[in-house]
Structure 1
Amino acid sequence: MPEGDALYRFAEKLRSALDGKIIRAARSHGPGPVPRVEKIVGQRCTGVRSQGKNMLIGFDNGLALRGHLRMYGTWHVYEPGERWTRPEREVRLVLEVDGAVVVNFGAPVIELVEERSLGYHAPVSNLGPDLLDDAFDAEEALQRLRHPTRAMLTIGDAIMDQRAVAGAGNIWKHEALFHAGMNPWRRVSDLSDDDVRRLLGKAQGLLRASVGKENALGLTRRPTMNVYMRGGQPCRRCRTTLRSAPQGVDIRHTAWCPKCQPVVEGQLEPPRSRRDRPLVVRPGETNRQLSK
């Protein structure tokens, strides 16, 4: 699923194509509810922004398009007449302006709402502080993570709850926990406020670095992945074999370094997984041969 940094980059791309321009043509297709995008034809785009994992496109008649990509959606920008790289059957939304065609492929959520209602529209109004917002409120995020509905969750689950803190998904959950030296199976209730603040600071710094923003970690580019999708491989820091195990409602695998993110007394014991087994390469074999 595209995370906050990906939506931020999409918004930058769409902003350069749409901002201040008149919508010359628009169409939308299913599945699911299809917004009446004819209402924005002839209207001027007043701004494009991301909020958490949501794309918000405003117009001068007071309407706004909201898109959520979920797992497989994406935004493309083409020149008029340019061949699209994905098929028409995957199209959810097309916006045409002078000099550009904006196409959404595969997003399950495309809706047209009144801009003034966004403050009461649950998919947006219920979001926690956005990690990429220059005014990110870490104390509010801390209090939201302390909410009784999240207190007994593992921090690996809670940090991805967009109602607590917006923008972090599976990728930055992994990397923020690694940088904070925190085991993913520690409960929120077992963490001190300083622990949570440290984790939020790492998550904020990593996402800001990913989009080229100044950050407290001093990173100047998108960080290298230390643990995400690397279960069974050696830790880049200490060379210990990374473990991984299923975690969360959607049973995704979480990877971590048992040395850099140790189990602490009293926490939930991480489950075992076959993915923990290190890859053994026999003489004369290669990783590529073993994967066939």
Structure 2
Amino acid sequence: MQHNASALRTALMGQKMSSFETSESLIVSPKVGRTIEELRVENRSIEIIWDDGLALKTEMKLRGSWRIFHDGEKWSKTKKSAQVIIGVDEMSVVCFGAREIEAYHDFDLRRHPMLGRLGPELADPRVDLNDCVDRLMNYENPDETIADVLLDQRVMRGIGNVHRCELLWACELHPWAKVGSLSVDECLELVSLAAGVLRGNSLLASTELAVYGKHGKICTRCSGQVRVTHHGEANRVLYWCVDCQVRHTDVTSQGYVIKHDAPLGVHPAEHLYLSELARARKSV
């Protein structure tokens, strides 16, 4: 299962999904256009996570597996027997022989209805952006990292993990900067850029990604190297440039540890595979 997961990570991580088909009845389904962010494996369970927090979990039978087929390649099994088909650039990733398949959003306490109403939907042109700015400026925990707060649905809705990484880079903000350290102008810049991306009228919406999926590559702004790490309670992947995202570096939270970054020159999928393999060996 570890080898199957490693191949899937290489094929899927960082890819934008172009199609999704399933023979199962799911409560929610992944949206076309969303980016596949991570893949987790535990025993015979494989979980695929998209940048909006949606997860697809497949519990595999003994002979069940995920297969990768390039466009035009003959499948080793019939399409009728496929339970899930995920389309990405020039290939289909297909699930056969799963005992159970379910889709859900990763649980986040901040999204629970008993803990406050959801914030404004940034894609809606009628939304008052100053409302979102006020929510950032008056966030309940001023020591929370700005990277975490951007995904808090009580502040504003619509920002996925790809957007989060790109927005922080565009504003040159250190991801671990405390939200309470940001000025009104900085909060307005973040909110305005985010709204522009989600409404399709920002340069960020039409240009190539600057940091997301660019681990180990050269930053186009400062020629530094882009890194990837895991961040926050939800342990979401976060891409950023250590060299130029330095605003509020002096008031960061204590959560960032450089040893948690994936090593430069190593594909994030390979790093996860080796980490999981090491944990599996320790548990034996």
* TM-score of the superposed pair, with normalisation by structure 2: 0.52
- Counterpart of 2:5 in structure 1 is none
Q: SS where residue 235 of structure 1 aligns?
A: coil
Deviation at 1:30?
6.5
Superposed CA offset, 1:72-120 (max 9, x none): 49xxxxxxxxxxx897866xxxxxxxxxxxxxx95438xxxxxxxxxxx
- Counterpart of 1:235 in structure 2 is 219
Among 247, 255, 265, which residue is 1:279 paired with? 265
Change (3 A) 1:132 1:239: same
| Displaced runs of 4 or more, over 6 A | 85-88
> Does 2:236 match 1:252?
yes
| Matched-pair contact (CA < 8 Å) for 1:245–1:271 | no
Change (3 A) 1:31 1:244: closer
| Letter in structure 2 aligned against 1:197 | L
Change (3 A) 1:129 1:265: same
| Matched-pair contact (CA < 8 Å) for 1:246–1:271 | no
| Matched-pair contact (CA < 8 Å) for 2:121–2:158 | yes
Q: SS where residue 246 of structure 1 aligns?
A: strand
Q: SS where residue 108 of structure 1 aligns?
A: strand
Deviation at 1:223?
3.2
Equivalent-residue separation in structure 1 for 2:174 and 2:102 (angstroms): 35
Change (3 A) 1:277 1:164: same
* TM-score of the superposed pair, with normalisation by structure 1: 0.51
| Letter in structure 1 aligned against 2:257 | P
> Does 2:143 match 1:152?
yes
Change (3 A) 1:240 1:132: same
| Letter in structure 2 aligned against 1:267 | T
- Counterpart of 1:175 in structure 2 is 166
Equivalent-residue separation in structure 1 for 2:223 and 2:130 (angstroms): 35
Change (3 A) 1:134 1:250: same
- Give me the CA root mean square deviation: 4.0
Change (3 A) 1:87 1:185: farther
- Counterpart of 1:39 in structure 2 is none
Q: SS where residue 227 of structure 1 aligns?
A: coil
> Does 2:262 match 1:266?
no
Percent identity over paired residues = 27
Structure (1 or 2) with the larger CA radius of gyration: 1
Unaligned runs of 5+ in 1: 1-5, 11-27, 33-67, 74-84, 91-104, 110-120, 210-214, 281-287
Equivalent-residue separation in structure 2 for 1:191 and 1:257 (angstroms): 19
Equivalent-residue separation in structure 2 for 1:86 and 1:183 (angstroms): 48
Equivalent-residue separation in structure 1 for 2:252 and 2:185 (angstroms): 17
| Matched-pair contact (CA < 8 Å) for 1:176–1:206 | no
> Does 2:127 match 1:142?
no
| Matched-pair contact (CA < 8 Å) for 1:132–1:208 | yes
> Does 2:175 match 1:190?
no
Equivalent-residue separation in structure 2 for 1:251 and 1:69 (angstroms): 11
Change (3 A) 1:145 1:253: same
Equivalent-residue separation in structure 2 for 1:151 and 1:186 (angstroms): 10
Equivalent-residue separation in structure 2 for 1:139 and 1:241 (angstroms): 34
Deviation at 1:227?
1.0
| Matched-pair contact (CA < 8 Å) for 1:232–1:275 | no
| Matched-pair contact (CA < 8 Å) for 1:69–1:106 | no
Q: SS where residue 147 of structure 2 aligns?
A: helix
Deviation at 1:122?
3.8
| Matched-pair contact (CA < 8 Å) for 1:231–1:275 | no
- Counterpart of 2:194 in structure 1 is 203
| Letter in structure 2 aligned against 1:205 | G
- Counterpart of 1:132 in structure 2 is 123
Equivalent-residue separation in structure 1 for 2:133 and 2:81 (angstroms): 43
Deviation at 1:255?
1.7
| Matched-pair contact (CA < 8 Å) for 2:172–2:245 | yes
| Letter in structure 1 aligned against 2:170 | H
Change (3 A) 1:176 1:231: same
Deviation at 1:134?
0.8
User: What is the aligned length?
Assistant: 182
| Matched-pair contact (CA < 8 Å) for 2:142–2:178 | yes
Deviation at 1:128?
0.8
Equivalent-residue separation in structure 1 for 2:53 and 2:168 (angstroms): 25
